[in-house]
Structure 1
């Protein structure tokens, strides 16, 4: 199990200085107007009091393990000469969030993914696939130049509340509880604390979207979503193709994934289409395991190499260089043998929602087998993070009971065996999926007016993969080119409000 080994690099000495001002009294007159009045002989300055203990946790955590610690002057090990200086600095920040943001490296340009939470219990649940959800995965777009937006359904999670309602992929909605969705209110209406809401459904005709009179009431529950959304065999022109839509890398589902691969293997598939369009990432060990499930012939070979901050990297290189290497595993974390397909080619479907651990799959496998990427550029996240809790060794055990803050800072960047990393703009597909809009422009990605049914041979992205596998152009591929779409601007989606966001996660080793 790949974990962080905590190193005692932190050398900030916490010591209080009683600065005593000793001055001799004098009766000398300075001038005719003012007489010097010396301080009391034993007067001392009072030490600075820390106003928020969470700020201390934020600084210590980022100083210890943040990937770009050496690039941030305010995180330097020798930044403060005494406690008063340190506390004075921390007290200039009124919230832990403001301090955290101010200590990040080129926020928004380089570090786009570190985050802080004020309730790690929700974060811990998310790591296990548990969240309060009705099961809808949705996107939100703006049509035109107004603040009004509308939503569309990307998929409905299996066994969720939404799965029992009359709503499906490709459906549109304009309002929530009779309120028109806007760029200002969609967060509260769709992803707020409300346990239930009613969607006002809509239809698009001739570039015009209107309510169609249909309403769908949905309820959020504590729901565990299986990342295995679809696993099936498609037989086309005598070729057995496995289709696997995998929507998150969650360690709790590694055995289920292994079972799904075993089932595909038992049915004699010779090709695999791996659908990662809506997979924002997750646990690194789960991604490594999937790489071995796809292949199997590279057991023990280098899959991914890690680059930590300066002090950690130096330590690992001197004391434990193997720690920086992630190899193709032959077993899951619990010791279960990995079932492998032994493929030399895999077809992977991507969008800009394909991130982090999903990108690791593409980048890691690329030097070993033929990875055929179909869709659009991925997110561009080649870094991994770790959860830090406010305890002596940053583990959850014995965490400070006074608060539930946790940090999720980036701690290393990954590179494949050939050293490929830093793909800021994402991984570029071999086959770019496009469609024509009503204005004659060419747009990239999924056509909202022709999303199709996931797992169906006529769904445009899957149809493209099947046409490459069979060497023929399918009717669905031809139809997608001719299907006129919308000119829209994407605003956001449900994955943006997931506690995990776009993540690739490792765990902290506690000594």
Structure 2
């Protein structure tokens, strides 16, 4: 059963829907362009929610007076860009903000947060050739039940072109992530240290409504007397919380005493799902702080300390969590591990020993939420209120609205979380996901068992990605605050 979460229920008590309570122009000039209504929504929502509101001069509360002259100036400001996308990026977004984004259709955005997208199911990374503008792609994994499952392509395969055009820094976005639903990959081989185009082609088609279960693989091993559980988890998606819990419980029933969470391709997602997973691993003491929230100063002062604290959970969808109760967790990471993946590591650090294996993470420590033109609901997207969204404005914005710090007060990892055991993926030796000799999993097993053996972990061709299929999705690098509140102001 899918779960619908009521987002920010507590915040409605200090709704920003009454424009006349703010020192802002409460209307816009009717002579403005067609986009003025959209950009009015964007400005007012960002003025209220944006984490860096105080750092953007054009978002200041006193930027425009609530007078006839102020209304004219405000409308001219809204009309200063030709379209809402440019307005958001050029007028509202703080220069250090790497992750806020928008979409002209809130449905597409909210579907992406639920793990539903238009996709061919091929997940890949992109690497730039040294001293060249050309790039190549390597297949990370195939989403089950997708178009790519029926194609002759698998993990580790390489490609250098699309539709006969060589991939470069300048054209890869249009070729791989443009409006072309069907494209043909020009494949390549790895020969004597070089990536060499061959004559093979693979044609793939993006399909509407592809739902990816983020629990990609779950299994257990008994090695050198250690019972080891392994889960490759590729997105924190709350619609699949029950699947995640079932995987953990199956491993618990198998008698595991160690757990490896493989988050190397996980770009983030739901804060609440992260909290639930942490509770499944560590424990269900609802007095233990999972995280503390920090909003912009205008919002922060409206909460007391207890209302800014989120605790570990003891239930999932009404069912009591049967936690593993571990005091140690092994996590596999890469440069694609971001936001909620980093939150899991950071929020567990005060309580258990988290051993990180792989590469430095992305460095995304802010959280966001979906805002739509529902002014009576503080602009918050709430599934039960879709009929209240302005029918003339279907835009949604996903701004960063705060930072999460752990129980020790630590949050500063914008340069990424450093691994305890550094090991990059090697595109000449990716291995098969979930097999004991796959390099990153093998390294985690070695750390657990303490048996070094004769395994050589030398990385001959390290992967330094410039982008990936997930990084060009709406869900890229997102930490979405969907925790449920039950508070009164």
TM-score by length of 1: 0.86
Residue 447, structure 1, aligned to residue 434, structure 2: no
* 2:473 corresponds to 1:485: no
What is the CA-CA distance between 1:508 and the residue it aligns to?
9.6
> Do 1:276 and 1:350's aligned partners in 2 also have CA atoms closer than 8 Å?
yes
| Residue deviations 1:346-399 (CA, integer Å, cap 9, x gap) | 100111111001111000000100100111111111111010001213144421
Aligned CA-pair RMSD: 2.2
Q: Specify which of 302, 321, 342 is matched with residue 315 of structure 1.
A: 302
Aligned length: 461
211 and 102 in structure 1: CA distance in 2 versus 1, 3 angstrom threshold: closer
**1:391·1:397 contact (CA, 8 Å) conserved in 2?**
no
Match status 1:363 vs 2:360: no
Other-structure match for 1:411: 401
1:48-82 alpha-carbon deviations (Å, 9 max, x no partner): 73222111111011011111112222112222113
Computing the radius of gyration over CA atoms, which structure comes out larger, 1 or 2? 1
CA separation of 1:414 and 1:16: change in aligned 2, threshold 3 A: closer
Aligned position for 2:355: 372
CA distance in 2, matches of 1:146, 1:467: 37
What secondary structure sits across from 2:220 in the alignment?
A: strand
1:219 correspondence with 2:196: no
State whether residues 263 and 331 of structure 2, in contact with CA within 8 Å, keep that contact through their aligned partners in structure 1. Answer: yes
Which residue of 1 is the match for residue 277 of structure 2?
Answer: 290
Query: Residue 221 of structure 2 contacts residue 228 of structure 2 at CA under 8 Å; is this kept in 1?
Result: yes
| 8 Å CA contact 1:151, 1:172 repeated in 2 | yes
Q: Which of 173, 176, 182 does residue 196 from structure 1 map onto?
A: 182
Structure 1 Cα separation of the partners of residues 447 and 27 of structure 2? 70
Q: 1:509 to 1:339 in 2, by over 3 A?
A: closer
CA distance in 1, matches of 2:27, 2:318: 51
Name the structure 2 match of 1:442: none
Q: CA separation in 2, counterparts of 1:300 and 1:232?
A: 32
Query: Which deviates more from structure 2 when the two are superposed, residues 404-413 or residues 70-79?
Result: 70-79
Matched with 2:481 is 506
Alignment match, 1:99 = 87
1:3 aligns with 2:7: yes
What is the CA distance between 1:422 and its match in structure 2?
Answer: 2.1
Q: Per the alignment, do residues 2 and 296 of structure 1 end up closer, same or farther by CA in structure 2, a change over 3 Å counting?
A: farther
Given the superposition, is the C-alpha separation of residues 307 and 2 from structure 1 closer, same or farther in structure 2, using an over 3 Å criterion? farther
Answer yes or no: is the 8 Å Cα contact 2:24–2:61 preserved in 1: no
Cα shift at 1:418: 0.3
Q: Within 1, Cα distance between the matches of 2:400 and 2:301? A: 18
Alpha-carbon contact 1:352-1:378 (below 8 Å) kept: yes
Counterparts in 2 of 1:39-54, with a 5 A limit? 49-51=31-33, 52-54=36-38
CA separation in 2, counterparts of 1:204 and 1:13?
61
TM-superposed CA distance for 1:298, in Å, is 3.5
Q: Using structure 2 for the length normalisation, give the TM-score.
A: 0.89
Q: Secondary structure at the match of 2:319?
A: coil
2:144 corresponds to 1:140: no
What's the counterpart of residue 153 of structure 2?
A: 167
Residue pair 1:292, 1:330 contacting (<8 A) in 2 also: yes
Who is 1:259 aligned against?
Answer: 246
Distance 1:196 1:121 in 2: 23
Q: Which residue of 2 aligns with 1:184?
A: 170
CA shift in 2, pair 1:322/1:3, >3 Å: farther
Is the Cα–Cα contact under 8 Å of residues 218 and 232 in structure 2 kept in the other structure?
Answer: yes
Q: Of 55, 76, 87, which residue of structure 1 is paired with 2:75?
A: 87
Does the aligned pair in 2 maintain the 1:353–1:379 contact within 8 Å?
yes
Question: How does 1:342-491 map onto structure 2 within 5 Å?
Answer: 342-392=325-375, 393=377, 394=379, 395=381, 396-433=386-423, 445-475=424-454, 478-481=455-458, 484-485=460-461, 490-491=465-466
Unaligned runs of 5+ in 1: 18-46, 434-444
In the TM superposition, what whole-angstrom CA distance separates every residue of 1:272-298 from its partner, at most 9, and x where no partner exists? Answer: 000000000001100000000111253
Cα drift, residue 258 of structure 1: 0.6
Partner of 1:355, secondary structure, is: coil
CA distance in 2, matches of 1:120, 1:15: 24
- 5+ residue gaps, structure 2, are none
On the 8 A contact 1:58/1:407 being kept in 2, the answer is: yes
Kept after mapping to 1: 8 A contact 2:58/2:92: no
